[in-house]
């Protein structure tokens, strides 16, 4: 299904931010029962829940949250390609968290500061996201500046996901923020964390025609369809049912 | 507060000429319903029994995450998904409380996990059953958490203080989960014919394993008598099982579901429901490791631990490097997870 055109909140922006949170929450939910230490079972589920809460608020401003989550096809999702990337190892998950939570924190701080359609949500979410960002930064340090294995894996993860980070700063309909300023702040912050973690800041491109930058247009990476198949299958198997 | 002698600061018992005085003071404290605390003298066997029971309880919380986590990625609505995620997160938290409580007895979480992974310590037999449909998530909440609560509420008065206090916190959260499980089944019961069938099927599969959660019948329960004397346990297995059946029958009726037991009927004389015989052969097989998911559950747990080794090692190495500079605040476990 597609979202109604007449929503009070800018539809494209709400779907974009809502889908980011929904999809990343789903990925983090896959960690349940697999985390490296019990404290991380709690922490990852905690972050996943925060994100799911944000997604529900955002999607509900556009339409029915469950119809939007469970009945849209892959091409109608507007999330960043970054958040749909498979979990990989713990370093990969942390690198994804570092890149995304830094972005989300800057974005929500800005949205909370001005009077706009997202101010209310952003004011609440910015507190949660500050915690997510701290968690990701702390783990980046522990893995990057811990053992040799930790360092290697964290470096590999940061490099592998680098090419998905440009998309965060491409314009989104209805999202009235200073993208250039945010990108500068993002680069500064991420570089500083990577330096402290004794990691090398990746040098490759941060966007490309197909490698990144298309998620917001509904063009996703291969693993995303499979993720949706799993997420949606039960809901789709019982059309019209309530749960 | 317990009696002065029981609380007297150490010296191990062996150092003193009169171990008997400690023992008498311990017995008196237990008889007077006083709490035994970590620094108090206690019989070795009391300590060992508690370590075994608390470890098994902690292991059950973390193994118990698996059958439910199995449905997180497939939960059919965002509301249900959030509820399920929160529940699985709570279980990890309960595991943490219980390992901490067990550590007050002089063991460590690492040691206990090692015993779980090597099969030297057990977890609840119930988690060796598979979650085959979404309704299983509701059946676990209603029946499995319901049985757990029936077992655990008396533990809030357990003679060992740290365990009793952990149980107070855990029981509050568990009863919340139990209501959510019931409400999930209620939604299915009021749903489409397919949803109702799904709910009935799940209850059919989980009913008997839930009754087995209370352990073997009283005449075959090895630890019961001693545990009751020590006031670790307050009621016998069969008493608690009966209490659970009596609670569940009317609940099943209001759910519009049946319980899969042709012998189940009200006994006016006893004032309880009679119920059919439990398949103790199945119970023993599951305990021996031959249940449907024993292998899978333990393998996943071991794999998570092994695959996470480099993460824990890296965090420890980081902590060692930075302890002096940061004043020792960078210990593993202090990142994240501190927010309720």
Tell me the per-residue pLDDT of A42-98, one tens digit each, with 9 for 90 and over.
999 999 999 999 999 999 999 999 999 999 999 999 999 999 999 999 999 999 999
Contact B73 A230 (CB under 8 A): yes
Mark yes or no for CB contact A146/B316 under 8 Å.
yes
**Is the C-alpha dihedral spanning A72, A73, A79, A83 positive or negative?**
positive
Using alpha carbons, select from B280, B132, B157, B276 the residue that is nearest to residue B219: B280
Looking at residue B336, its pLDDT comes to 43
Closest CA to B66 of B143, B142, B140: B140
Quick one: pLDDT at residue B326?
A: 53
Instruction: Determine the length of chain B.
Output: 340
Interchain pair A142, B318: CB under 8 A = yes
Task: For residues A107 and A132, give the distance between their C-alpha atoms in angstroms, rounded to a whole number.
Answer: 14
Q: What is the DSSP letter of A123?
A: H
Residue among B65, B73, B88 whose CB faces A26 most closely: B73
Residue A100 CB contacts under 8 Å (≥ 6 apart), including other chains: A20, A24, A80, A82, A83, A168
What is the pLDDT, as a whole number, of residue A211? 61
> In this structure, what token pair is assigned to residue B61?
């919380």
Which of B184, B303, B318, B325 to substitute to test the interface with A, most A CBs within 10 Å? B318
Listed residue (A213, A218, A176) closest to A3, CA to CA: A218
- CB–CB contact B78 A234 (8 Å): no
- State the pLDDT at residue B224: 85
Q: Nearest residue on chain A to B78, judged by CA atoms?
A: A66
Model pLDDT, residue A228: 98
Question: Quick one: pLDDT at residue A210?
Answer: 58
What pLDDT sits at residue B323?
Answer: 83
Nearest-Cα residue of chain A relative to residue B306: A36
Other C-beta atoms within 10 Å of B42: how many?
Answer: 24
**Looking at the predicted complex, does its ipTM rise above 0.90?**
yes
A242 touches chain B (CB under 8 A): yes
The C-alpha atoms of residue A122 and residue A14 are separated, in whole angstroms, by 12
* Residue ranges for chain B with pLDDT beneath 70: 1-17, 324-340
The answer to whether the beta carbons of residues A130 and A102 sit under 8 Å apart is no
Contact A46 B332 (CB under 8 A): no
Residue of A nearest to B183 (CA): A243
Reported confidence tier of residue A9, pLDDT bands at 50, 70, 90: confident
Residues of A in contact with B96 (CB under 8 A): 38-39, 42
- Number of A–B residue contacts, CB under 8 Å: 178
Read off the pLDDT of residues A181-237 as tens digits, 9 standing for 90 and up. 999 999 999 999 999 999 999 998 888 655 656 899 999 999 999 999 999 999 999
d(CA A119, CA B128): 47
* Interchain contact A67–B (C-beta under 8 A): no
- A199: distance to nearest CA of chain B, Å? 14
Chain B residue with minimal CA distance to A143?
A: B314
Q: Which residues of chain B are within 8 Å of residue A45 when distances are taken between CB atoms?
A: 85-86, 88-89, 92
User: Is any Cβ of chain B less than 8 angstroms from the Cβ of A37?
Assistant: yes
pTM: 0.92
The pLDDT tens digits for A139-191 are 999 999 999 999 999 999 999 999 999 999 999 999 999 999 999 999 999 99
Q: Is A53 on the interface with B (CB under 8 A)?
A: yes
Contact B85 A35 (CB under 8 A): no
Specify burial of residue A132 (Cβ count, 10 A radius: 0-12, 13-18, 19+). Answer: buried
A33/B69 Cβ within 8 A: yes
Contact B46, B228 (CB under 8 A): no
Instruction: Name the residue facing A147 among B82, B307, B317 (closest C-beta).
Output: B317
The pair of structure tokens assigned to B115 is 């015993």
Per-residue confidence (pLDDT) for residue B7, from 0 to 100? 52
- The pLDDT of residue B14: 53
Mutate to test the interface with A, among B65, B72, B191 (most CBs of A within 10 A): B72
A70 touches chain B (CB under 8 A): yes
Give the mean pLDDT of chain A. Answer: 94
Question: For chain A, how far is it from start to end, CA to CA, in angstroms?
Answer: 20
Chosen from B81, B99, B133, B297 to mutate, greatest number of chain A CBs within 10 A:
B81
- Which residues 100-129 in chain A show a CB within 8 A of chain B? none
> Residue A54's pLDDT is what?
98
- Tell me how close the Cα of B182 comes to any Cα of chain A, in angstroms: 13
Give the whole-angstrom CA distance, residue A133 versus residue A128. Answer: 9
Residues 6+ apart with CB under 8 A from B49: B223, B226, B227, B230, B232
CB spacing of A33 vs B76 below 8 angstroms: no
For the stretch B82-140, pLDDT in tens is 999 999 999 999 999 999 999 999 999 999 999 999 999 999 999 999 999 999 999 99
What residues of chain B lie within 8 A of the CB of A56, using their CB?
78-79, 82
How many angstroms separate the CA of residue A17 from the nearest CA in chain B?
A: 16
């Amino acid at each position: 299904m597609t979202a109604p055109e007449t929503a009070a909140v800018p539809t494209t922006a709400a779907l974009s931010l809502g889908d980011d949170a929904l999809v990343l929450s789903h990925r983090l939910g896959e960690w349940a029962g697999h985390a490296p230490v019990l404290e991380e079972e709690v922490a990852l589920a905690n972050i996943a829940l925060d994100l799911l809460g944000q997604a529900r608020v955002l999607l509900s401003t556009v339409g029915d949250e469950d119809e939007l989550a469970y009945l849209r096809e892959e091409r109608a999702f507007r999330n960043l390609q970054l958040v749909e990337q498979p979990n990989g190892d713990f370093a990969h998950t942390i690198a994804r968290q570092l890149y995304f939570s830094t972005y989300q924190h800057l974005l929500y701080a800005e949205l909370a500061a001005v009077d706009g359609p997202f101010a209310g949500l952003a004011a609440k979410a910015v507190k949660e996201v500050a915690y997510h960002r701290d968690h990701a930064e702390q783990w980046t340090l522990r893995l990057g500046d811990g053992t040799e294995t930790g360092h290697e894996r964290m470096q590999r993860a940061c490099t592998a996901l680098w090419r998905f980070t440009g998309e965060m700063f491409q314009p989104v309909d209805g999202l009235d923020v200073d993208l250039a300023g945010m990108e500068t702040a993002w680069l500064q912050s991420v570089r500083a964390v990577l330096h402290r973690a004794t990691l090398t800041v990746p040098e490759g491109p941060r966007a490309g025609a197909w490698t990144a930058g298309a998620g917001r247009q509904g063009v996703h990476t291969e693993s995303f369809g499979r993720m949706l198949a799993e997420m949606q299958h039960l809901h789709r198997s019982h059309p019209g049912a309530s749960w | 507060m317990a009696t002065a002698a029981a609380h007297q600061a150490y010296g191990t018992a062996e150092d003193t000429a009169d171990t008997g005085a400690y023992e008498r003071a311990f017995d008196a404290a237990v008889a007077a319903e006083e709490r035994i605390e970590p620094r108090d003298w206690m019989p070795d066997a009391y300590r060992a029994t508690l370590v075994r029971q608390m470890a098994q309880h902690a292991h059950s919380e973390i193994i118990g995450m698996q059958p439910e986590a199995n449905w997180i990625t497939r939960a059919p609505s965002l509301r249900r998904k959030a509820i399920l995620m929160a529940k699985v997160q709570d279980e990890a938290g309960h595991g943490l409380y219980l390992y901490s409580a067990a550590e007050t007895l002089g063991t460590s979480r690492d040691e206990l996990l090692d015993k779980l992974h090597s099969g030297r310590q057990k977890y609840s037999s119930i988690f060796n059953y598979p979650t085959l449909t979404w309704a299983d998530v509701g059946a676990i909440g209603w029946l499995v958490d319901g049985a757990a609560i029936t077992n655990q509420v008396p533990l809030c008065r357990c003679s060992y203080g740290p365990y009793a206090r952990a149980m107070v916190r855990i029981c509050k959260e568990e009863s919340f989960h139990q209501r959510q499980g019931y409400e999930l089944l209620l939604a299915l019961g009021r749903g489409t014919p397919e949803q109702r069938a799904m709910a009935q099927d799940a209850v059919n599969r989980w009913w008997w394993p839930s009754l087995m959660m209370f352990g073997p019948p009283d005449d075959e329960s090895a630890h019961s008598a001693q545990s009751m004397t020590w006031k670790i346990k307050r009621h016998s297995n069969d008493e608690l099982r009966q209490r659970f059946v009596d609670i569940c029958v009317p609940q099943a009726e209001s759910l519009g579901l049946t319980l899969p037991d042709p012998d189940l009927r009200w006994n006016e004389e006893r004032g309880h429901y009679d119920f059919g015989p439990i398949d103790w052969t199945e119970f023993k097989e599951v305990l021996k490791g031959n249940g449907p998911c024993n292998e899978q559950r333990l393998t996943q747990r071991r794999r998570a631990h092994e695959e996470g080794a480099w993460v824990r090692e890296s965090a420890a190495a980081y902590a060692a490097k930075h302890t002096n500079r940061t004043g020792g605040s960078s210990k593993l476990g202090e990142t994240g997870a501190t927010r309720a």
